Each structure stands twice: as structure tokens, then as C-alpha cells.
Structure 1
């Protein structure tokens, strides 16, 4: 049995940080004057106490590095523990949520999924609305670090192709996380402030601009209104689309650009592929909308751009009910959600690079069929794709499809209809936000689902955010034997 103290120590420190973050919505509630500030004061004290006690109890077990087993456990442990404490304000606050609903909301927040079980958002205390935004914002920066530090080292889903040669050993995982987090945080905070400023200039009040900036840059999608982003139309949709795209691009390229490599983003195969896919999808959707509905071309383009960008990036905002756009676009939206953004971003789902490697592999196989004796190797972004990367990517696709099927069946067994079950499974595993249909579609939410279905979705959100294998490996006997 390996030593879990280093893992618990890091988790304890992160729980303390989460508790201290609760002081921000406490101050907002005090300013609002609705008497809700004790909720966050009590939640913060409990969270800091438990986290601090855990960190102190395990401090003597801290070593310089982490083993592979410890790293797997840490990645999953963080996303299991933080939602438990993040749910406390929802239980104690005005929402008076049951535990399953509070945990669903917190898990949806920290995994930046954006599905919600709450209604009446327009009248909730500002502290709770800010807390939802902060959960997503913290989850966004957290998943960037996980995607850039942990997953490449753990060789999950082909992510090792982004492994930095400067940090090859697991023993340097924590120093590397600290270094990357500090560099990425500058970009992340800057994008958030710029997004909030743009919203403010275009007419949002300061509170809405702040919260929606948090949930836009994190590609989380929590909004302050039941109508989601539908209360903000026109230029704000363009601004939101721009920042959703920026948040779905690899953040390491921003760091490189700040360090003088101005062409880093343009040279990135993921980024180029992502832009191409969005452009193609928006043009198709705009054309369909203009042919079906008497829309002005600008409105058709804007609504297509905003909602497609929202779904492909995993943000999950909706400005209109696209369930009224006809079966072709409804089906297209389902598959758009399974594409995702770039690795090393706040975006979710399968990710562009895996499709690019899959296509490269298919092309290679076709060339081998034409020329059986030729030595042909798949290439990605100017590099030869190794056998380990190729196998890892293929394994991810298989596991994702199997997980989607099993989750859909599990949801169907709870009594949900086919569309709700399949789209619910997809939106949870891909961390998108809204599903399809009348219940969990863009005009609905997850409040009316039964408790078993909510637990299934909670587990699916967790597994999907951590690229499936990081969670699944914990259930193997060999992992615990070390």
C-alpha cells in the first residue's frame, strides 16, 4: 500500500484555498443586505478547519515527488473532495438544496459542465450566484494544470504527445504544477478581466459582467438567469463567442506568445483545426437557419456562431432554444458537443487533437493498403505519432463510446426517455451543459430528474472531466498493489 499522506496534504491545502474563496461571496452578500452572509461564513470556517487539519496531519509525510499511483489518486481526489465542500453553501443557503442537488451543482461547477438543478436564478442571492461562477472559474484553471501537467505524464488518452521534455520525471510533478500554474494564471486572470470589461462596456451591470466573465473564460456556462445568455443579445453574443474560442485554445501558446513567440498559436495544429471546424459549422448552420426561418442574415449568423461556439467549447450557454431549429441542426448540435476544444485549455469533450490523430491514422492505413511495402507513419503537427500515442488515442475513443453507451443505458433504466438519456450521458461525459429534448434541453434544466439519474450524471461529469481513464484506473486491483 503506497503512502497517501502526500496526496491528502495537497488536497487539504486546496480545500483550505476553497474555503478562503468563500469569503468573496460572503462579502457580496453582506453588501447586498439580504442576511445570507452567515451561510458563507459558516461554510468557510468548516471548510478551512477540515482542510487545514488534514494538511497538518499529513505534513510529515510530504516528499519531494509523487509516484504514478499517488498522482492518479491526487487528480481524482481533488475533483471528488472539492465538490463536497463546494456544495455546503447550496445546502445552507437560500436554495436549501438536498445533498444530491447541492453536490450535482458543485460538481457541475468545478468540472465546468454547466448543467444546473436550480430554478429561479434571477432571484437568488448574489453571493450564491457568485459562488457558482467562482466554482467554474477555479475548475477552469484547475483543469488546465491537470491537462498540462498530470495527463501527459500519466499518458492518458494520447496526452503524452504534449509532454514537455524539460520535465520528464514524475518526481518533478509538483514543482512543474506550481511553475505552470503561475504562468497560466497570468493569462487566465487577464482574459477574465478583459472579458468582464467588454461585457461592462456593452451594458452589463458590474455584477453580471463579473460572474459571466468567470463562467465564459472557464467555458463553464453558469448564468445568472434562467434564460441563460438569452437575456443578453446582439454585440454581447459576439464578445462571448470570441472569449469562448480564446478559452478553448491551448493556453501554453498564450504563454509562448507573451514570451516573444508571436506565431505560436498559428503554428499549432489544434488551433488551426479548431478554427476550421467552427467556421465550417457556423456557415452550415447559418445557411440552414436562413433557409428555414425568416431571419436576417446577421441574426442567423450571430445565433449560429454563439450557440455552436458555446457547445463545441463546452461552455453550455444558450441564447435561443435551438430545439426549434429542426432535426438536422438538433442532430448536428449533439455531435458538435462530442468534438470539444483544444488540449491544454478549459474546454472539454474528446478534443480536436484526438480527431486529428485518428484521421492521420486512417490516412496512413489507406496508404498502406495502396502500397503494402511502403513504410508510412502517421504524423501530427509535424511530428511522427508513436505507437503508444496511437494506441492511447484509440483506447480513449473506445472507452468514451462504451462509457457513453453504459451511461445512456443507466439513465434509461431510471425511467428517462431515449433522447434525454443519450444526450444527458453525452453532456455529462463531455462536460457540455445542456442536453437535448424538453427536459434537459437549452430551455430546460436537470431539476426534475430523479435522484438516481443525478448520481449517475455526477459520476459521469467527474469521469469525463478527468479523461475517463484517470478515474477508471483506480478501480483496478493492480493499481492498489502498486
Structure 2
């Protein structure tokens, strides 16, 4: 437990320092960020000092508690300056949780006239949350065997790839790739007409697949086909595995099954929807292709940028974008959702089951990246989908009981769990805003974003008595010595 408290203290201190840096660059909100930074840093350092032990180590059960708590701690810390600036406590927590989980849902309006310090802070929350989740997904979730993630640990730790075996080294490599992509994205955005501030903040929210913008009109504010295509490409790059980038740089290996599956499926969906849009409107194909590509990639990668209200294209598109919300990017990327790897394994498991039914004596081996998939990995994927959709149903019911109509309740529940941002409908759609929702609804959605980012099981297991019984035994001093 000392390790858990220590890490939460470090997270608080880190956010406090980040607030102090923000105060240096934006004088109009310097007082808010300076005070929030001092309070957060002081509390974080106190927690780190009183909990520090020279011999402390992270055990497997500590990882569950640490992973679940540091993300909540980060969201609370991130909401402090927003609250001091003027948001209500629940709005500040909602906005910060949406930022750090890279969801992109917002309760803020009038963004065009909001102080740049606040706009930058929202972008920083998504930038930190994006790289933080990549490291969590590779270094922690495989250890916890959440949703079949142990398979990705195997995929990312091929022989000779020593840089992926050590979490600290992997984090450093990931950070370098992440910052490099943000820098390139910012340069391209500025070449396309954005000013320096917009280019940097939008680059952070693009590569983190977060989707926060400094304008109420989101990406549509720029009215630039070049920027829309650039945004489409960089959103997609943010949703590809960072271990894949590292593998390309170190070994020149480009092929990845989940990357290939995601790119091909996106291409098919974009072409089908583009032709459908041309057939049902008078829009030129090149325009339809650009708008469909941007919005499909935005939703599938869970970025959540909007450059048009796609719900106005007809009910077919409303249904299509609703289902695309649940897809998600690749495992090991900044994207949310169920992830391409899990959908790929689920499809192969279904095909194998049909083959076994047709020929009961036939033994079908499910493979991924050329290797047979263990039974516990498939079980992890199945359990993930069960909990994912069970949580979605429970959230939808709760939101409906809190007064939302069925369309809004269903869409907002799914967009929160998938960490997408906008959903469908007039309230939470691409042209809507979450500000009009009641505080209880915002709180439920805040929890939904939190659960979705940590993939449910990491958090839900903490509510089982068995976990705490085992944790109590594992953390006894005598038990640790015997180990």
C-alpha cells in the first residue's frame, strides 16, 4: 500500500508542476494555475514523503490499486484549476476526466473566447492522458491479464526487442515517438494555416485521440480541406500501436495483423459510406470522401473531432456512426474503444466455433501474428466483451432513470465507455454539448469514462471482497519476507 500512496503523491506533484509551468506562459490565468499548482504539489509531496520506503516494490495486486487510483487522482488534480477558474466541481471533474481519459466530451461553451491558459490545460490533460494510457496498456494491463492484454505483451516482447521488456525503457521510447509525432503534426497544421498555439494544442489532442478543440465549432472552425485530410491522417496515426512504431524504427518490421485489419476495414467503411452519401445527396464524391473519412476516422479512433453534423445525413448514418463508436483503435495506442485486436480475435473465435460445429472431430487453432492463442487469452477477451456490454446496458438504464430519452441515454453511455466524445442525437451529438445534462448524469458519465479508459475489470475487481482478502494477506510484512 505504501507504493500505491507514493505513486499517487508523485502524480499529484507532477500535475502541480505542470500547472506551475502553465502559469508561466499564460498570464491571464497565472493566479489560478499558480495557486492550484502550489496546493496540488504540496499535497503530492507530503503523500510521497510519508509513504516512501527504501525497500518498497510493486506487487501484482498493488498494480490493480495503483492503476485504478492514479487515474482518478489525475482527473481530480486536473479539475482543480478548472474549478478555481469558475466551473462547478462536477463540471470541473467531468471536463478533467474527459481530458485525461482522452474522451473529448465537454461541458464548456464559448471556447472561442475562453482564456488560452484554460484551452492549453485541456490540451495538456489529453496529451498526458494519451501517452499515460499507452504505457499503462503495455506495462501494467498485461500483468493484470485484463481483456486478453497478455497476448499484446507477448506480441510486443519478441526475441531481440529488449527495449520493450523493460517498462521504463519502453515508456521512454514511447514518449520519444509520441512527442515526435506531435511535433510533425503541429508543423503540418501550421503549414495548413493554423497559428502556433492552435497547431500545438490541436496536435496534442489529435495524437492523443482526445479531440478537445479551442473552438465551439471544433475542427470545422478552420474550414480547410487540407487540414481535414491532415487531421484524418494524424488521428489514424495516434490510433496505431506505439510498439509497432518502435518495432519499425528498430527492426524495420512493418506488418501487424491488427494494423492491417483496422486499415482495411476503415477503407471499406469509408468507401461504402461515401458512395451512400453521394447517392443520397448532391454532394461531389471528393467532398463526400473527405467528410466521411474525417468523421469515420474521428469516431473509430475515438478522437471525437467534428467538422460537420453527420447526424443530418440521414438515419443510416446515425446507425452507422453509433455502431462505429464501439470499435476503437489498436491495442497499445492512445485510442479507446474495444480495440481492433479483440474484435479480430472474437471474429476468429466465432469462425472456429462454426467449423467445430460442422466437423466435431476437427481441432481448430486460433492464431494471432502467426502464433497460437492461449485459452486464457481468449477467455480474457470474452470476459472483456461481456463486462463491456453489461456495463453499457447498466449505464444506459441508469441514465434513462435519471431522465434522459433512450437515444441520448444509449449514445452517451456508449460514447463515455468507448472514450469517443460526441455521440448521436441533438444533445450529445457532434453539434451538441454535455453542459445541459444534470449533475447526476454528468457524474455517471464521468464514472463511465473512467471505467472505459481502464477497461472495466481493472476497477471493478476492487469491489470484490475476495480481492481485498488476498490483498490483506499479500501485504502482511511476514508474508512479504517469506516471499
Distance in structure 2 (CA, Å) of the matches to 1:23 and 1:242: 33
Distance in structure 2 (CA, Å) of the matches to 1:28 and 1:306: 32
- Per-residue displacement from partner, 1:213-270 (whole Å, max 9, x unpaired)? 01000000000001111112310011111111111001001111111x2233xx2101
From 222, 232, 236, the counterpart of 1:241: 232
Contact 1:200–1:209 (CA under 8 A) maintained in structure 2: yes
1:80 Cα deviation from its structure 2 partner: 0.8
1:345 Cα deviation from its structure 2 partner: 0.3
Contact 2:102–2:130 (CA under 8 A) maintained in structure 1: yes
Contact 1:6–1:61 (CA under 8 A) maintained in structure 2: no
From 195, 202, 217, the counterpart of 1:205: 195
Distance in structure 2 (CA, Å) of the matches to 1:42 and 1:75: 27
What does 1:150-161 align with in structure 2 at a 5 Å threshold? 150-161=140-151
Contact 1:360–1:380 (CA under 8 A) maintained in structure 2: no
Contact 2:157–2:165 (CA under 8 A) maintained in structure 1: no
From 8, 20, 26, the counterpart of 1:11: 8
Contact 1:5–1:61 (CA under 8 A) maintained in structure 2: no
1:48 lines up with 2:36 in the alignment? no
Distance in structure 1 (CA, Å) of the matches to 2:383 and 2:291: 36
Contact 1:122–1:224 (CA under 8 A) maintained in structure 2: yes
Greater Cα shift, 373-382 or 309-318: 373-382
Query: What is the DSSP-based 3-state SS (H/G/I as helix, E as strand, rest coil) of the residue aligned with 1:207?
Result: helix
1:273 Cα deviation from its structure 2 partner: 0.6
1:195 lines up with 2:195 in the alignment? no
Contact 1:303–1:319 (CA under 8 A) maintained in structure 2: yes
From 1, 14, 17, the counterpart of 1:20: 17
- Per-residue displacement from partner, 1:171-208 (whole Å, max 9, x unpaired)? xxx99332211010000000000000000011001111
Report the counterpart of residue 37 of structure 1 in structure 2. 30
Contact 1:474–1:480 (CA under 8 A) maintained in structure 2: yes
What does 1:348-363 align with in structure 2 at a 5 Å threshold? 348-363=336-351
From 215, 226, 229, the counterpart of 1:225: 215
- CA 1:99–1:166 in structure 2 vs 1: closer, same or farther (change >3 Å)? closer
Report the counterpart of residue 173 of structure 2 in structure 1. 183
- Per-residue displacement from partner, 1:434-466 (whole Å, max 9, x unpaired)? 011101110011000001101100111000000
Query: What is the DSSP-based 3-state SS (H/G/I as helix, E as strand, rest coil) of the residue aligned with 1:128?
Result: helix
1:23 Cα deviation from its structure 2 partner: 2.5
From 262, 275, 299, the counterpart of 1:274: 262
Report the counterpart of residue 124 of structure 1 in structure 2. 114
Contact 1:240–1:306 (CA under 8 A) maintained in structure 2: yes
1:27 Cα deviation from its structure 2 partner: 2.5
TM-score by length of 2: 0.94
Contact 2:95–2:105 (CA under 8 A) maintained in structure 1: yes
From 45, 57, 63, the counterpart of 1:71: 63
From 69, 85, 88, the counterpart of 1:98: 88
Contact 1:412–1:418 (CA under 8 A) maintained in structure 2: yes
Query: What is the DSSP-based 3-state SS (H/G/I as helix, E as strand, rest coil) of the residue aligned with 1:40?
Result: helix
Contact 1:216–1:315 (CA under 8 A) maintained in structure 2: yes
Q: Which runs of 5+ in 2 are unaligned?
A: 159-163, 471-483
What does 1:361-380 align with in structure 2 at a 5 Å threshold? 361-380=349-368
From 246, 250, 268, the counterpart of 2:241: 250
Aligned alpha-carbon RMSD (Å): 1.5
TM-score by length of 1: 0.94
Distance in structure 1 (CA, Å) of the matches to 2:202 and 2:256: 28
Report the counterpart of residue 460 of structure 2 in structure 1. 472
Distance in structure 2 (CA, Å) of the matches to 1:216 and 1:474: 32
- How many residues are matched? 464
- CA 1:178–1:458 in structure 2 vs 1: closer, same or farther (change >3 Å)? same
Report the counterpart of residue 293 of structure 1 in structure 2. 281
1:103 Cα deviation from its structure 2 partner: 0.2
1:25 Cα deviation from its structure 2 partner: 2.4
Query: What is the DSSP-based 3-state SS (H/G/I as helix, E as strand, rest coil) of the residue aligned with 2:421?
Result: coil
Report the counterpart of residue 318 of structure 2 in structure 1. 330
- CA 1:220–1:283 in structure 2 vs 1: closer, same or farther (change >3 Å)? same
1:80 lines up with 2:77 in the alignment? no
Report the counterpart of residue 171 of structure 1 in structure 2. none
- Per-residue displacement from partner, 1:26-68 (whole Å, max 9, x unpaired)? 12322xxxx32111111111111111111111112652x3112
